[in-house]
Structure 1
Amino acid sequence: MNTASKNNPLIVICAPTACGKTSFAESLFARGAPFSFSGRAEVISADSMQVYRGFNIGTAKPDKVLLEKLPHHLIDICGPRGSFGAGDFVRKTLEAARDIYSRKKIPVIVGGTGFYIRNFIYGLPPTPRADPLLREKIARRMENEGAEVLWKELEVLDPVSAHKIHLHDEYRIKRALEVCTASGKPLSSFSAAQKPREGFSFLILSLQRSRAELYERIDKRVELMFEQGLADEVRSLVSSGCRAEDPAMQAIGYREFFTAAGSLNRDTQAVKELIKKDSRAYAKRQQTFFKAFTDAADLNADDIEGGEKKIAEFLGASINILD
């Protein structure tokens, strides 16, 4: 495959949480007949929390059986207390795509972190380069003054970004303040390019379900997560040194276990209901976000045959990397 070509085919499967993205991809690329793409693709996970080791149940990571049938990239690549952002995702996705093409397979981005997907397709906004001294100064302030104080400062400087960032998400609060301070402009004022990234031909499949069906699936998934031992997973992570303010602990399914003071909430039923509520709100935001992908083809999440047809048409119009 000529990776310098402008027609390297790359498939994107995006949808809100609990919509059935993993099952859809498995049906097309890992289950064999009658679908013609089995064994011909590898997945690049576009899930901002599946990168963290130890965060398994709450992030609905694919199991080992599926990973053996359908290789996944960008899973379990970051320590539980590390940080991973859009820039990391774009860089590692480019590396993974080149690796997949070298085996004459098709890279398929699958996930619900729309911000990551958009920044890969259209490129990262041209924000200022990191300033080590400024970053260290803000880090010291975070340590001495706490996340809430800095978040309130960000709310004044950049209310749009502040209201997208969780109150205890120290990493994103610090980065937003760094951009504001370094550039004199809010982070939200930096916009991505409007043209897709050169070097790729994209097929974007946006999976659809009614909101009522999606909410029902979310509630069932949360119940299953608790049956699988989500509460024990969180306790184990805390015992290993993870804190409420760590980036991975800001994920829905984990942050709800903590009280405002940062201690564990022992009321399991209350935590469960809060996760359901937060997941439904997140899914609603995701649905709105993905509607802005004007180049996406909307497809019912159960329409595997329709997905196969669109992929076949897409690859027929692109360079056949499998020949």
Structure 2
Amino acid sequence: MSESLSGRHIPVVVIFAPTASGKTALTRELFSGKGSHFILNAEIISADSQAVYKGMDIGTAKPEPEFCLEIPHHLIDLVTPDVQFSVADFVEQADAVCRDIYSRGKLPVVCGGTGFYIRNFLFGLPKTPKSDEKIRSRLKERIAEEGNQALYAELETVDPQSAAKIHVNDAYRICRALEVFYTTGKKLSDCVLENKLREQYKFLFLVLEPPRDVLYERIRQRVDMMYEAGLEEEVAALIKAGYTKDSPGMKAIGYSEFFEEGWTKEKIREAIKHDSCKYAKKQYTYIRDIPESIVISYNNTDKDLQNIAGLVGNFAREAGFSIDLKA
């Protein structure tokens, strides 16, 4: 292991890519013995804010159990859909897993499309005011009585920068942003991250950008495949288990649409496609202007794979890992 990467500098590959862009196929090619490129002792830390929920498998496109046997995955199936899993929870657990993976002589690979998670992992959590339980409780009551849209519109008025980064269905983050404003008179968007990567890590940060039209078509096809795999039955089973539209996990795209009153099955399907495409565009909001990021035009070609494999291979070698190139 090189001196610069010893001690407190844990090497971590971070791969950001939007939904349906081919992250699973890419990581299999790079890190699995069944891949075509090289065998590298790596384990994957999922940066997907919905994959943490148990029972939400089809709509979140979790990696298949067989793939998880090829390459160990972490931060999947952690909590039930009625539990709020925050960005602070993600950073804390990702830190612990990275230390564990590296201590066992393997390379941590953080991979996913939740830019909010990835940005906070790279920079560390911003310092925000402590919670005011009275204000938080009142906001929770209001969002239950008035609905997400009403409080989201309120947030757009008092803190439009934060609102632009929060989905209208994300009740937890809407309330948190309003709580900060009503507690301090300041915007949550003013509680910015340091523009400096955390020093306990050595990062290789790759941002994959598929052609927009190709990505949207892949998203629409994926939604159809989810239906074929039993998405409707999965949602019905979750509702039967007692989860509602107010359960944090059920606010995700692919689940929340099923709670819209009066919608036909076809309208729900089309809404999931529309919302997913809109979200894919929004995912890049959080990973703009990150120092040392490497942006790659990605179209799942052999050339793309060669490029990424070269970057990962050089980084891993510098970190002291042995690379087993395939013929």
The alignment's TM-score, normalised by the length of structure 2, stands at 0.89
Cα separation, partners in 2 of 1:33 and 1:216, compared to 1, 3 Å: closer
Distance 1:251 1:306 in 2: 33
- Tell me, yes or no, if structure 1 residue 75 matches structure 2 residue 102: no
How far is 1:101 from its partner?
A: 1.3
Deviations 1:277-303 (Å, cap 9, x if unpaired)? 111111122245444335222333432
The residue type equivalent to 2:119 in the other structure is: R
Q: Which residue of 2 aligns with 1:23?
A: 25
The alignment's TM-score, normalised by the length of structure 1, stands at 0.90
Cα separation, partners in 2 of 1:33 and 1:91, compared to 1, 3 Å: closer
Q: Which residue of 2 aligns with 1:274?
A: 271
Distance 1:145 1:212 in 2: 37
How far is 1:46 from its partner?
A: 0.2
The residue type equivalent to 1:313 in the other structure is: N
The residue type equivalent to 1:26 in the other structure is: R
Deviations 1:177-205 (Å, cap 9, x if unpaired)? 21112221111111111110111100012
**Structure 2: stretches of 5+ with no match in the other structure:** none
Distance 2:168 2:287 in 1: 24
Q: Which residue of 2 aligns with 1:313?
A: 314
Distance 1:264 1:249 in 2: 18
Cα separation, partners in 2 of 1:124 and 1:222, compared to 1, 3 Å: same
The residue type equivalent to 2:306 in the other structure is: E
Cα separation, partners in 2 of 1:308 and 1:236, compared to 1, 3 Å: same
Indicate conservation of the 8 Å contact 2:244/2:250, yes or no.
yes
Distance 2:36 2:243 in 1: 45
How far is 1:235 from its partner?
A: 1.2
Q: Which residue of 2 aligns with 1:49?
A: 50
Secondary structure of 1:206's partner? strand
Indicate conservation of the 8 Å contact 1:7/1:319, yes or no.
no
Distance 1:72 1:32 in 2: 16
How far is 1:82 from its partner?
A: 0.7
Distance 2:39 2:144 in 1: 50
Q: Which residue of 2 aligns with 1:119?
A: 120
How far is 1:320 from its partner?
A: 4.2
Q: Which residue of 1 aligns with 2:235?
A: 234
The residue type equivalent to 1:36 in the other structure is: F
Q: Which residue of 2 aligns with 1:295?
A: 292
How far is 1:69 from its partner?
A: 1.2
Cα separation, partners in 2 of 1:164 and 1:118, compared to 1, 3 Å: closer
Secondary structure of 1:161's partner? helix
Distance 1:78 1:116 in 2: 17
1:112-151 equivalences under 5 Å are: 112-151=113-152
Deviations 1:208-230 (Å, cap 9, x if unpaired)? 32111111111110110000011
Cα separation, partners in 2 of 1:167 and 1:95, compared to 1, 3 Å: same
Indicate conservation of the 8 Å contact 2:196/2:291, yes or no.
no
The residue type equivalent to 2:24 in the other structure is: T
Cα separation, partners in 2 of 1:88 and 1:105, compared to 1, 3 Å: same
How far is 1:307 from its partner?
A: 1.8
How far is 1:264 from its partner?
A: 7.3
Cα separation, partners in 2 of 1:7 and 1:32, compared to 1, 3 Å: farther
Distance 1:155 1:286 in 2: 19
Indicate conservation of the 8 Å contact 1:256/1:271, yes or no.
yes
Distance 1:182 1:275 in 2: 35
* Larger CA deviation: 238-247 vs 12-21: 238-247
* Larger CA deviation: 158-167 vs 278-287: 158-167
1:1-323 equivalences under 5 Å are: 5-32=7-34, 35-38=37-40, 40-259=41-260, 263=261, 265=263, 267-287=264-284, 289-299=286-296, 300=298, 301-302=300-301, 303-320=304-321
The Cα RMSD (Å) is 2.3
Distance 1:63 1:49 in 2: 15
How far is 1:318 from its partner?
A: 2.8
The residue type equivalent to 2:9 in the other structure is: N
Distance 1:291 1:20 in 2: 21
How far is 1:58 from its partner?
A: 0.7
How far is 1:49 from its partner?
A: 0.3
Total equivalences in the alignment: 317
The residue type equivalent to 1:158 in the other structure is: D
The residue type equivalent to 2:79 in the other structure is: C
Cα separation, partners in 2 of 1:146 and 1:19, compared to 1, 3 Å: closer
How far is 1:103 from its partner?
A: 1.3
